[in-house]
Amino acid sequence: MKIIYLHQYFNTPDMSGGTRSYEMARRMVSAGHEVHLVTSYRDELKEKKDWFVSNESGISVHWYPVPYSNHMTYLKRIKAFFTFAWAAKNKASHLGGDVILATSTPLTIALPAIPAAKKNKIPMVFEVRDLWPEMPIAMGALKNPVLRYVAKKLERWAYSHSSSVIALSPGMKEGVVSTGYPRSRVAVIPNSSDNDEFKSEPEIGIAFRESREWLKNSPLLVYTGTFGQVNGVGYLVDLAVELKAIRSDIKILLVGDGQEREKVIHEAKALGVYGESVFFEKAVPKKQIPALLSAASMSSVLFIDLPEMRPNSANKFFDALASATPVLLNYGGWMNQMVKKHNCGLAMWQKPLREVAKELELHLHDEAWLSVSGKSARMLAEKDFDRDTLAAQLIEVLEAVVGGQPDKAESIASGRYN
């Protein structure tokens, strides 16, 4: 197949952020398919005026300069969405192909995907990474009733022109089906565990610890990712205050960037935990995360408590599983249930911070618990979320759609986890 893969915010392992599209696309190439990935180039410091192409592990990546960062206002982000959509429509239309795979967010990725599919008379598969527009509405980003109406219409329009839909969690699948889309045409293919790349390497973890004078042999809780409003990273600063109250030696390391990073740093300083038990480092390329997780006692996956967030499929959760690192979750939903069922971390949804601090103090000093919990995490990564397995499912869905059998999607990847 010649696959036209549209993803506005594509990353390689040399970049910070999720690499789902890269990992899936390179496996498509390994399986003998031709992949053209259409994306945006976000680096404002390097002058790029028009489309350019690079080869990333056999993937032909078509980049179009559209600056974007989590520091932007919602209005500027929306402008970036539409700027890219307009340019990508022409590019995708001229690439031809056998199938278009369009992955959100943003939902506006449907704007170039659908016209390109129609022009070339090929099917489109739409991948849902977040339940848009439910999320921006819940966050207060879409307050205007007209914009809400348009966003909901865009969501329905995207589904109605999709031969099949890929949902990244069972909850997202239910959200798609609730719009009237046929259940049989929805596959659940979550974010995945890169089990080879993230295999825990103690010697790398030791080197990471020894390079940080403040860490040494202390228990370490880490957060890696975006400092956005929806992430609620300030939770860990408040948790540090509770840990301080019980004289804990647990250290917390926050690695990443985003709109609220400076706010969280300010809170840590104001509460007297900055540089004492809470430490900050800038975002690093994805390929450096395994070393960080090898050094960590536990990895945290955080979101503010909104029902719309509970079906999420956070990359950092699956990275932690692959690295045999126990997980701390502070929200409800399918991943919370999974942590409880498989005993691979601490599911602390709706628990008072004082209680969370006591649980951490107990478990992060319990080497036997950390070992068993880490092994359970790795077993879950290998059994249900191995990247090779899930990429093969994605390829099978695309082949079924090209072969005129979109109703096979659910049977290929049902999203039922034992």
Rounded Cα gap, residues 345 and 24, in angstroms? 27
Distance CA 331, CA 317 (A): 12
Residue 197 within any structural domain of the chain: no
Distance CA 255, CA 261 (A): 10
Whether residue 136 is found in the same domain as residue 90: yes
Under the banding of pLDDT at 50, 70 and 90, the label for residue 144 is confident
250 and 129 belong to one structural domain: no
pLDDT digits (tens, 9 = 90+) for 179-215: 999 999 999 999 999 999 999 889 999 999 999 999 9
**Residue 59, CB half-sphere, CA atoms under 13 Å: how many?**
23
- Split at pLDDT 50, 70, 90, the class of 116 is very high
DSSP H/E element including 223: strand 220-226
What's the pTM?
0.94
Given a cut of 70, is residue 418 above it in pLDDT?
no
What pLDDT was estimated at residue 68? Answer: 73
In this prediction, residue 142 has a pLDDT band, given cuts at 50, 70 and 90, of confident
Same domain for 185 and 288, yes or no, is no
Please report whether residue 417 resides in a domain: no
Q: What is the DSSP letter of 35?
A: E
User: Token pair for residue 127?
Assistant: 């991948």
Q: Do 159 and 10 fall into the same domain?
A: yes
The predicted structure's pLDDT at residue 131? 75
* CATH code of residue 206: 3.40.50.2000
Predicted pLDDT of residue 210: 95
Which of 4, 179, 14, 28 has its CA nearest to residue 101? Answer: 4
Is residue 76 within 8 Å of residue 83, measured between CB atoms?
A: no
* Ramachandran assignment for 140, one of left (phi > 0), alpha (psi -120 to 50 degrees), beta (any other): left
Same domain, 212 and 335: yes
What's the pLDDT tens digit per position in 66-94? 977 666 666 777 788 889 999 999 999 99
269 and 130, same structural domain? no
**73 or 164, which is more confident?**
164
Q: Same domain, yes or no, for 375 and 391?
A: no
Is 418 inside any structural domain? no
Q: Helical H runs in 96-233?
A: 110-120, 134-138, 145-160, 170-177, 202-210
> Which amino acid, 360?
L
Residue bearing the bigger pLDDT, 401 or 77:
401
| Confidence at 241, pLDDT banded by 50, 70, 90 | very high
Number of folded domains that form the chain: 2
Strand ranges for 24-138 from DSSP E: 34-41, 52-56, 59-65, 99-103, 124-128
pLDDT at 106: 84
Per-chain mean pLDDT for the chain: 94
Residue 178 lies in a domain: yes
Q: Decide which of 315 and 44 is more confident.
A: 315
Same domain, 313 and 277: yes
The per-residue pLDDT for range 257-312, each reduced to its tens digit, is: 999 999 999 999 999 999 999 999 999 999 999 999 999 999 999 999 989 899 99
| Claim to verify: residue 280 and residue 308 sit in the same structural domain | yes
**Please, which residues bridge with residue 101 across strands?**
5, 125
Residue 136 has pLDDT above 80, yes or no: no
Same domain assignment for residues 50 and 114: yes
Percent of the chain residues past pLDDT 70, beyond the cut: 97
**Position 383 pLDDT exceeds 80:** yes
* pLDDT given for residue 45 in this prediction: 63
Per-residue pLDDT tens over the stretch 357-368: 999 999 999 999
Does residue 364 lie within any of the structural domains?
yes
Residues 264 and 188 in one domain: no
Let me know whether 264 and 369 are in one domain: yes
The answer to whether position 352 is within a domain reads: yes
Q: Mean pLDDT throughout 32-36?
A: 98
Range of the domain at 172: 2-192+386-412
Residue 135: pLDDT above 90? no
